[in-house]
């Protein structure tokens, strides 16, 4: 069972947290230190994290807001003090305004977040020091434990599962080009139509649904209206080309608009070729996610080229 464990040492004004993740230290480190990935999982749904700026280095900072479903915004700033890559980082964490000016009416904290390999992946251990017991109690009253546990479940439940499925279906090292689509809840309707047009069959296990995910202790139940939505599907169409897609339900914090829901997905056979293509296509355009090793096991990035086309890059091979 994977769950987030909290303990409190009142005499030392310290809270300790441990959580195991199914990924290498490098992958889990990336998930905790990249603003693009943090924005995807850091906030408990239906809240959404949004980075204003981040510079992950000693003396750098992360300024972000937690955005609520009714338009609420709560700002937080993290000042990074010490970093040992793939081992730990230390930082001061405090509430602030949108410019990063500390709100001293609310508690501040000092975090040390450590990463160690475990039998099933990586254990993340966090020690949080408070100025007073009252500050620790205030953070607990604000729902920190429930919210932080839910954020960890976001990381496990959606992103890791979706990319694991893609990795299982591509078992060879042969490069390929696919098209990846997102829909707000009608992927099955769309792909049933495409299936009839191209007279093809879904790859692998067919339509994989959110409700097919095995129930795990510590994970929140999937909303009933989301269970039948499509987590991942692949459909060969013409000339060996593959369409891939997943639903991106608003219940999980996603917003799908025409224009942001379609990517040309390149899967080169080497990291070198992946980087060459990424650098060439992003030149003069916009990098929307820098190319890097990601927690879901892929050398991954996204960009919009200078002509406005969305590109996705994924290489699952280390060499």
Which CATH number goes with the domain that contains 49?
3.30.530.20
Tokens of 246: 């997943």
Residue closest to 139 by CA, chosen among 109, 184, 101, 168: 109
Please state the domain count of the chain. Answer: 2
Q: Residue 33: count other Cβ atoms within 10 Å of its Cβ.
A: 20
Per the domain annotation, does 20 fall within a domain? yes
Residues 250 and 219 in one domain: yes
Q: What local confidence, expressed as pLDDT, does residue 144 receive? A: 93
* pTM > 0.85: no
Interval 55-82: pLDDT, tens = 999 999 999 999 999 999 999 999 999 9
Residues 236 and 293 in one domain: yes
| pLDDT higher than 80, residue 9 | yes
Span 14-43, average pLDDT: 86
Residues 115 and 232 in one domain: no
Residues 70 and 202 in one domain: no
Q: How far is CA 150 from CA 3, 67, 125, in A?
A: 10, 15, 17
Per the domain annotation, does 164 fall within a domain? no
Last residue of a domain, one of 125, 158, 191: 158
Per the domain annotation, does 125 fall within a domain? yes
The per-residue pLDDT of the chain, averaged, comes to 86
Span 248-254, average pLDDT: 73
By the 8 A CB rule, do 252 and 213 touch? Answer: no
Residues 194 and 311 in one domain: yes
Residues 300 and 258 in one domain: yes
Helix ranges restricted to H, 100-186? 133-141, 144-154, 161-169
Dihedral (Cα; 47, 137, 109, 111), 10-degree rounding: -80
Confidence of residue 117 (pLDDT cuts 50, 70, 90): very high
Residues 137 and 199 in one domain: no
Residues 78 and 182 in one domain: no
Per the domain annotation, does 163 fall within a domain? no
For residue 116, give its domain range.
5-158
Cis-peptide, bond into residue 190, ω within 30° of zero: no
Q: What local confidence, expressed as pLDDT, does residue 139 receive? A: 95
Last residue of a domain, one of 103, 133, 158: 158
């Amino acid at each position: 069972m994977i769950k987030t464990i909290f303990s409190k040492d009142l005499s030392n004004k310290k809270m300790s947290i441990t959580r195991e993740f199914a990924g290498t230290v490098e992958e889990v480190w990336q998930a905790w230190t990249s603003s693009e990935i943090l924005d995807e999982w850091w906030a408990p749904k239906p809240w959404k994290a949004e980075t204003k700026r981040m510079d992950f280095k000693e003396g750098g900072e992360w300024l972000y807001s937690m955005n609520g479903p009714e338009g609420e915004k709560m700002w937080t700033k993290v000042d990074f003090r010490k970093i040992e890559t793939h081992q730990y980082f230390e930082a001061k964490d405090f509430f602030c305004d949108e410019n990063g000016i500390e709100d001293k009416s609310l508690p501040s904290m000092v975090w040390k977040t450590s990463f160690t390999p475990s039998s099933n992946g990586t254990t993340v251990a966090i020690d949080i020091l408070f100025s007073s017991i009252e500050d620790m109690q205030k953070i607990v009253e604000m729902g920190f434990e429930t919210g932080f546990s839910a954020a960890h479940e976001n990381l496990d439940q959606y992103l890791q599962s979706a990319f694991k499925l893609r990795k299982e279906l591509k078992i060879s090292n042969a490069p390929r080009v696919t098209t990846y689509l997102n829909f707000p809840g009608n992927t099955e309707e769309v792909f049933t139509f495409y299936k009839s047009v191209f007279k093809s069959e879904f790859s692998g296990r067919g339509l994989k649904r959110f409700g097919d995910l095995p129930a795990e202790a510590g994970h929140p139940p999937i909303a009933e209206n989301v269970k039948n939505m499509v987590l991942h599907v692949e459909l060969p169409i013409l000339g060996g080309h593959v369409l891939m897609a997943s639903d991106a339900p608003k219940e999980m914090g996603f917003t799908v608009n025409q224009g942001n829901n379609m990517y040309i997905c390149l899967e080169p056979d080497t990291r070198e070729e992946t980087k060459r293509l990424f650098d060439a296509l992003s030149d003069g355009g916009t990098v929307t996610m820098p190319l890097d090793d990601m927690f879901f096991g892929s050398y991954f990035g996204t960009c919009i080229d200078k002509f406005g086309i969305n590109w996705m890059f994924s290489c699952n091979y280390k060499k």
